[in-house]
C-alpha cells in the first residue's frame, strides 16, 4: 500500500486530522494559520468528501430552503488559503504501532478508481469523523427511511419531495393517497425543525404553479417520538409551547410511540398504529461510525464513540485525540457525556488549536471543559425557541422569538467566522441577502 510522504521538512511534527466537519475543518484551519503558516508543524486534513457543509443546515437542504452549493467549503481551497494539506479518502483503519492511518480506495461516480488505498503517517492524530443516524436495527428503516447525515441524503430527500409534488399535480386521483404524507421519526431538534420547514416549503411550491395540490387536503406531516414529549433537551414549558405551535401548523405530533417497522408505504408503531407516508425521515438517535470500533487498543462506548480523557486524548493512546460527535467525553458538571452538538465540536476545536502546539512543544496538555450555552430550535419563519444556559443567563433562561433567532444564527456565524474571518463572512452575508431578492425562495430543482 503506498504511503504518503509530506513535501515539507522531514523533522516537522505531523498532525493528521480525519474528518472535516464542524470540529475538524475548524481545527485544521486554526492550526494551519497558527503553526502551518510559520513552518512549525505539518497539518493534513482528511475527509471522504471534497467539500464541507455545516451539518445543522441539512434539514434546510432537505426542505429546499437552502442551496447547499452556496454554503459549501471547498477543502482544497481552504487548505491552500490556510496553510494545511488536504487528502480525500475514507478512513478504513489505524495502525497504531506504525503510526499510519489507512484510507480506502477512492472511486468516482462511475466506479472508476481515482486513488488506490493509501496510508498517511502521523505523529499526532485527531479523529473527528462525526456521527451517523442510529436506526437501532428497526426493520425496513435502512431501505425505506432517509437519514439526514450527509448533504447527499438531504439532497435526495428534497428531490423525492419535489418529484412527489410534480406527480401529485398531474394526477387527479393519485394511486397512493399517502404520496404527499411525510413521517418524521424523532422529535429532537432535527425532526421538529424539518417539520416546520416542510410546512412552509410545500405551500410555497404550490404557489410556484402546482395548483392541483391542496396543502390542507393533500399534505400531512407527522412526527413520531418514542419519549413522552418532544424536544427532551428543552424544558417542559418550551416543549409544550412548541407542540402547540406545530399543531397550529397542522403537524401531527405522536409521542410515546416507538417505531417497530418502516415499509414503502409508511410506519408501524409498537401500539399497533400505522402512519401512511410516501416519505419517511429517520431523525432519532446517533452513533459513531463503525470504523472506530475496529481500531485495536482504543476504548469505545456502546455508541462506538472513542472514550477520551478531559484533555481529549483517547484513554489508551495519548497521541490520538477524538473530538466532536465521535468522542465520548465525560461531562463533569452534569454527569454522563458531553452531548453531540455543534457547539461542543466548536469548543473542542478551539481548545485543541491552542493546546496541541503546547503539547508538541513538550508541555503537559490542558483539560477541556464544556460550556453549555443552551439549546435553540428554529421553527423556520414561525418562531425560534430555546434556553440559554451558564454564564450568559446565570442559570437557565428560556427565550423565544427574534432574540432566540439571532442567537441561533450566531452559532453558524461563529463557524463561518472560524473558517473565513470577518471580512469574507460579512461580504458573503451581504451577497446572500442580495441574491435572495432575485432567486426563488426555495430550490426548485
Ligand atoms: C439536521 C441536523 C441539525 C442539527 N442542528 C444542530 C443545532 O442546531 N445545534 C447544534 O449544536 N448541533 C446541531 N446538530 C448536530 C451537529 O451537526 C453535530 O454535533 C456536529 O456537526 C458534529 O461535528 P463533527 O465535526 O463531530 O461531525 P460532522 O460535522 O458530522 O463532520 C464529520 C466529518 O467527517 C467526515 N467523515 C465521516 N466518516 C469519515 C471517514 N470514514 N473517513 C473520512 N472522513 C469521514 C464527514 O464527511 C464529515 O465531513 C445538528 C445535526 C443535524 C444532522
Out of 134-143, 371-380, 391-400, the most confident range is 134-143
Q: Is the CB of 324 under 6 A from ligand 1?
A: yes
Mean of all residue pLDDT scores within the chain: 89
Q: Tell the residue nearest (CA) to atom 23 of ligand 1.
A: 22
The response to whether residue 181 sits with its C-beta less than 6 Å from ligand 1 reads no
CA distance 216 to 55: 31
What's residue 249's pLDDT? 87
Q: What phi, psi does 305 have (nearest 5°)?
A: -75, 145
| Percent residues over pLDDT 70 in the chain | 90
* Of residues 166 and 30, more confidently modeled: 30
User: Averaged over 118-132, what is the pLDDT?
Assistant: 98
Residue 371: what pLDDT? 87
Residues 51-66: tens digit of each pLDDT: 999 999 998 899 888 8
Q: Is residue 289 within 6 Å of ligand 1 at its C-beta?
A: yes
pLDDT above 90 (res 329) = yes
User: Mean pLDDT, to the nearest integer, of 299-317?
Assistant: 97
Report d(CA 367, CA 191) in Å as an integer.
34
Determine the distance separating the centroid of ligand 1 and the alpha carbon of 276, expressed in angstroms. Answer: 30
pLDDT at 438: 67
Would the CB of 130 count as within 6 Å of ligand 1?
yes
Q: Which three cell numbers stand for residue 212?
A: 392541483
* pLDDT of the residue at 392: 45
For a mutational test of ligand 1's pocket, the pick from 92, 326, 341, i.e. the residue with the most ligand atoms closer than 8 A to its C-beta, is: 341
Cβ of 58 less than 6 Å from ligand 1: yes
pLDDT at position 143? 96
Average pLDDT over residues 13-35: 98
Closest residue by Cα to atom 26, ligand 1, is: 324
pLDDT digits 0-9 by tens, 165-215: 888 888 766 667 888 899 999 999 889 989 988 988 888 888 888 888 888
Say whether pLDDT at 399 is over 70. Answer: no
Q: How far apart are CA 322 and CA 301, in angstroms?
A: 13
Judge contact between 181 and 280, C-beta under 8 A.
Answer: no
| Residue 67 in contact with ligand 1 by CB distance below 6 A | no
Distance, CA of 61 to CA of 151 (rounded, Å) = 7
Q: Whose CA is nearest to atom 42 of ligand 1?
A: 90
Return the pLDDT at 173. Answer: 66
pLDDT tens digit string along 72-109? 999 999 999 999 999 999 999 999 999 999 999 999 98
Instruction: Using the predicted structure, report yes or no on whether residue 8 has a pLDDT greater than 70.
Output: no
- Candidate from 72, 146, 345 with most ligand 1 atoms within 8 A of CB, to mutate: 345
**321 versus 443: which is more confidently predicted?**
321
Residue 403: the pLDDT is 64
Q: How far apart are CA 400 and CA 20, in angstroms?
A: 32
- Between residues 121 and 234, which one has the greater pLDDT? 121
Three-state secondary structure string covering 122-169: CCEEEECCCCEECCCCCCCHHHHCEECCCHHHHHHHHHHHHHHHHHHH
Q: Which residues contact 141 (CB under 8 A, 6 or more apart)?
A: 135, 185, 259, 262, 282
Show the 3-state SS of 369-399.
CCCCCCEEEEECCCEEEEEEEECCCCEEEEE
Confidence of residue 440 (pLDDT cuts 50, 70, 90): low
Q: Ligand 1, atom 48: nearest CA belongs to which residue?
A: 21
Amino acid at each position: 500500500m503506498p504511503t504518503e510522504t509530506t513535501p515539507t521538512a522531514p523533522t516537522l511534527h505531523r498532525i493528521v486530522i480525519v474528518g472535516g466537519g464542524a470540529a475538524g475543518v475548524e481545527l485544521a484551519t486554526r492550526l494551519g494559520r497558527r503553526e502551518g503558516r510559520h513552518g512549525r508543524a505539518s497539518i493534513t486534513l482528511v475527509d471522504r468528501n471534497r467539500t464541507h457543509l455545516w451539518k445543522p443546515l441539512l434539514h434546510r437542504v432537505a426542505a429546499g430552503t437552502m442551496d447547499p452549493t452556496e454554503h459549501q467549503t471547498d477543502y482544497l481551497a481552504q487548505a491552500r488559503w490556510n496553510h494545511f494539506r488536504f487528502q480525500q479518502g475514507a478512513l478504513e483503519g489505524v495502525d497504531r504501532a506504525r503510526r499510519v492511518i489507512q484510507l480506502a480506495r477512492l472511486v468516482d461516480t462511475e466506479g472508476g478508481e481515482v486513488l488506490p488505498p493509501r496510508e498517511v503517517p502521523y505523529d499526532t492524530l485527531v479523529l473527528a469523523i462525526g456521527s451517523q443516524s442510529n436506526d437501532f436495527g428497526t426493520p425496513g428503516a435502512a431501505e425505506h427511511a432517509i437519514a439526514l447525515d450527509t448533504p447527499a441524503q438531504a439532497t435526495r430527500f428534497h428531490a423525492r419531495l419535489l418529484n412527489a409534488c410534480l406527480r401529485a399535480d398531474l394526477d387527479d386521483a393519485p394511486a397512493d393517497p399517502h404520496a404527499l404524507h411525510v413521517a418524521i421519526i424523532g422529535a429532537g431538534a432535527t425532526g421538529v425543525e424539518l417539520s416546520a420547514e416542510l410546512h412552509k416549503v410545500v405551500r410555497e411550491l404550490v404557489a410556484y404553479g402546482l395548483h392541483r395540490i391542496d396543502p390542507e387536503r393533500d399534505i400531512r406531516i407527522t412526527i413520531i417520538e418514542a419519549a413522552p414529549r418532544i424536544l427532551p433537551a428543552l424544558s417542559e414549558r418550551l416543549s409544550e409551547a412548541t407542540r402547540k405551535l406545530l399543531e397550529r401548523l397542522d403537524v401531527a405530533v405522536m409521542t410515546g410511540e416507538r417505531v417497530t417497522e418502516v415499509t414503502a408505504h409508511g410506519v408501524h408503531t409498537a401500539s399497533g398504529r400505522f402512519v401512511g407516508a410516501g416519505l419517511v425521515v429517520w431523525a432519532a438517535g446517533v452513533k459513531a461510525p463503525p470504523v472506530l470500533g475496529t481500531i485495536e487498543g482504543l476504548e469505545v462506548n456502546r455508541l462506538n464513540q472513542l472514550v477520551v480523557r478531559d484533555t481529549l486524548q483517547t484513554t489508551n493512546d495519548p497521541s490520538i485525540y477524538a473530538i466532536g460527535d465521535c468522542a465520548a467525553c465525560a461531562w463533569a458538571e452534569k454527569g454522563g457525556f458531553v452531548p453531540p452538538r455543534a457547539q461542543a465540536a466548536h469548543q473542542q476545536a478551539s481548545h485543541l488549536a491552542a493546546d496541541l502546539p503546547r503539547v508538541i512543544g513538550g508541555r503537559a496538555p490542558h483539560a477541556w471543559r464544556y460550556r453549555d450555552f443552551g439549546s435553540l430550535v428554529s421553527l423556520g419563519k414561525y418562531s425560534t425557541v430555546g434556553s440559554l444556559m451558564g454564564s450568559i443567563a446565570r442559570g437557565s433562561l428560556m427565550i423565544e422569538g427574534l432574540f432566540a433567532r439571532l442567537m441561533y444564527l450566531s452559532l453558524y456565524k461563529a463557524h463561518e467566522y472560524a473558517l473565513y474571518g470577518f471580512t469574507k463572512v460579512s461580504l458573503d452575508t451581504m451577497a446572500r441577502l442580495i441574491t435572495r431578492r432575485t432567486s426563488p425562495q426555495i430550490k426548485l430543482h
